[in-house]
Chains A and B, each alone.
Chain A
Amino acid sequence: MLDQAFEALKTLDWGQDLAPLAPIDEAVISSHSDESARRELESRLAATLSMTDSRDAKDYVCRKLMLIGTAASVPALAALLAKPENSHVARFALERIPGKEVNEALRTALESVAGVLKVGMIASLGSRGDEDSVPQLAKLLGDSDHQVACAAAKALGAIGSGKAAHALATSSSEAVKQDATNAMLACAENLLAAGDKANALRVYKHFAGEGQPKHVRLAATRGMLACAGKASE
């Protein structure tokens, strides 16, 4: 049954019944406590990526690798990152696979893709909280592609570390102002939660001035109160 399912998978296309693939779905669940069966299943799924031209089939495989993929699947998935039709579904799998191999693959791809695909790599690195990508993301804050620059700001906010906050603070790009502001405030919340009141306060004071929108000044004021140990509830 599983063999037949993999055969059907190679030619999967939108409009076809998904029932023939049910053995694969069932194997994903049933292999939970059978490591060897799961690794074999993973291997077959990853191999399918290079055995089919079907976009729908690749989409299906990536959804399954999101659930059971490991470092062993990273090369097959990374090979899709620069392909506009498959880049997102590759990240769909990669973003949820634990391990440094994924971060390294995303950082490598970040250097070779452009436009919205680059935004995708940035978003996934941010979502994974990859501290090692901060230097690359910091450089992108000044990117001429507005979407790339804003995505970098958002990702740095998602990472939320002191280094990320510093990178955001040293950016002077007006184009990313709203996203950078939000990201810095998110970093400040993390710094405060970690007990680094001094650096959190520095961020909040930066946004407390008259030149900021009212809701940003409100955020800064609340943050300064929190730094002083006063609840703003």
Chain B
Amino acid sequence: MGRHPHPTRREFIKTASAAVAIPYIITSTALGQGDTPPASDRIVMGGIGLGNMGSGDQDAYLGRKDVQYVAVSDVRKGQLDAGKDKADKKYGNKDCQAYGDFRELLARDDIDAVHIATPDHWHAIMVIEACKSGKDVYCQKPETLTLREGPLMIAAARRYGRVVSGGSQRVLEDYREIVDKCWGGELGPIKSINVNVGPLSQMCNLAAEDVPAGMDWEMWLGPAAWAPYNSKRCDGNFGTNGNSWRSYLDYSGGGMTDWGAHHFGGATFAVDVRELQPHEINFHDDNGKQYVELVYPNGITLTHNKPGKENLEVEGTPGEKREAKPVPSYSGEGGIYGDFIECVKTRQKPFRDIELAVNSTAVSHLASAAYRLQRSLKWDSAKQEFPGDAEANRLLDRARREPWQL
């Protein structure tokens, strides 16, 4: 991504001209006090999707003195009201605006950045629309639902010079020991790493239930195929065994993409292939125990659920050492959230830059394709297609329900 000059913080009067209710009196909150920067120097943010992960993301950004949190959007009135109340309580006012339709939030010129934590089937559309509106974006993982979405999200980010960060904090924070060993060179040249994660998502045929008051069901479904409301279909819990949207094909890739975003992200970071995508996906059926090997162009192999292998078990080259490399890390203070905000200010790429996040979710999608088709595949990362494989290429994307499109 290109680096352009630090944008001049907008004058307060510009914020005041936005089409929202603005307090007439300029308060000490607006002017800044102590180590709190004045409003004109804060990143103005809004949040879209305020359930389990979104609520935590909102807390993180609300807790930052360099952020002014001004708007929330959710299709569930309960979450929407709770998100607004949280922001209003933080600032001691009623200024946070609540929107049932995220497009109204994105239309506000005074908002610099948004965090997105909807179910996965919304991510690509929202990230692209946010970039088109000139917003920087922090998007929860897994950032994509299909392979085709990734390059379009990257293109939108690059086109407009937006800072777009993926959302897995675990990539850097959970696997530090193995990352340090790999980057420190003590394992020698790396041959392979294994990831254990699953399952794949499945079709959902749950019975119809009455849509609860305050739920905009059509908007929750959005680009996904129409289906009747069922509380398990849209529950945001972290399970992947049938009691949450994370279980179902139309909204998620299942554990393979959900926890896969963390594990594959961590594994590709550890063995330093996060800027690449595999070119071979070899499917194995070992007496009913299925696993895949994803081979990178540099020869490193990433195995998934290989029998006898631990999660993030690395195979190096015994007896050999390699020159140590400095381990990339976050910018700023405050973990992955601080990294994003710092990069919004400085126009640097964040640690989980969208391109790196897309590469690790692509691993999940490629492995899933091999399991769904029960065979090995080739992958051309430059063309983003399975070369000469018309059947597999059908899995690159899926038609979105009208009126939604990328």
Contacts and interface: CB of A to CB of B under 8 A. Distances in A.
A135 interface: no
B327 interface: no
Interface string B325-357: 000000000000000000000000000000000
A96 B369 CA distance: 15
A216 B133 CA distance: 9
Interface in B365-406: 373-375, 390-391, 394, 397-406
Given A67-B394, A88-B225, A219 B159 contact: yes
Contacts of B227: 14
Interface bin, chain A:
35 or more
Given A88-B226, A98-B390, A123-B400, A233 B1 contact: yes
Q: Is the interface of A mostly helix, strand, loop or mixed?
A: helix
Contacts, number: 120
Given A88-B226, A123-B405, A15 B207 contact: yes
Interface string B153-187: 00110011110000000000000000000000000
A48 interface: no
B391 A67 contact: yes
B3 interface: yes
Interface in B215-238: 225-228, 230
A29 B160 contact: no
A151 B403 CA distance: 8
Contacts of A231: 2
B207 A14 contact: yes
Contact of A120 (B203, B228, B397, B403): B403
Contacts of B156: 182
Given A29-B373, A96-B397, A214-B7, A120 B402 contact: yes
Contacts of B89: none
A147 B131 CA distance: 19
B134 interface: yes
Interface in A99-157: 116-117, 119-120, 122-124, 126-127, 147, 151, 154-155
A116 B399 contact: no
Nearest to A113: B402
Interface in A184-211: 185-186, 189
Contact of A215 (B2, B160, B375, B404): B160
Contact of B160 (A60, A155, A216): A216
Interface string A85-100: 1011101101111100
B191 interface: no
B4 interface: yes
A75 B159 CA distance: 40
Contacts of B162: 215
Contact of B405 (A89, A119, A182, A233): A119
A88 B228 CA distance: 15
A231 B1 CA distance: 10
B208 interface: yes
A53 to B, nearest CB: 16
Given A123-B402, A158-B406, A213-B134, A63 B155 contact: no
B205 interface: yes
Contacts of A158: 406
Given A88-B226, A178-B132, 17 more contacts: A15-B206, A15-B208, A29-B373, A60-B203, A63-B203, A66-B394, A87-B402, A88-B399, A96-B394, A119-B403, A123-B399, A214-B7, A215-B131, A215-B162, A216-B160, A219-B159, A222-B159
Top 10 nearest A-B pairs (CB, nearest first) are: A15-B207, A120-B402, A123-B405, A215-B134, A232-B2, A95-B399, A96-B394, A119-B403, A116-B402, A91-B399
14 contacts: A14-B208, A15-B205, A18-B205, A85-B226, A88-B401, A95-B399, A119-B405, A122-B405, A123-B403, A158-B406, A185-B159, A186-B155, A189-B159, A219-B159
